[in-house]
């Protein structure tokens, strides 16, 4: 398993995984950016924070 793949799994568990709406690539955002938009590290598109299920 690659370190990147492991980070995606961990991000999924922590709710930090995000899918880019432009290139559809999955990436993990830093926990301090969990509720903020972040630029895609692949295509630089803006990725809004994932909608929370409960709120």
Q: Which of 9, 26, 42, 46 binds Zn ion (CB under 5 A)?
A: 42
Please provide residue 26's backbone torsions phi and psi, each rounded to the nearest 5 degrees: -90, 140
Distance CA 50, CA 55 (A): 12
Using rule CB under 5 A, residue 22 touches Zn ion:
yes
Using rule CB under 5 A, residue 20 touches Zn ion:
yes
Which CB atom, from 5 or from 54, has the smaller least distance to Zn ion?
Answer: 5
Say if residues 40 and 23 touch (Cβ distance below 8 Å). Answer: yes
Which residues sit at the interface with Zn ion, rule CB under 5 A? 20, 22-23, 40, 42-43, 45
């Amino acid at each position: 398993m690659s370190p990147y793949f492991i980070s995606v799994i961990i991000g999924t568990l922590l709710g930090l995984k995000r899918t880019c709406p432009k290139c559809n690539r999955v990436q993990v955002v830093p926990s301090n950016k969990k509720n903020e938009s972040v630029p895609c590290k692949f295509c630089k598109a803006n990725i809004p924070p994932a909608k929370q299920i409960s709120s």
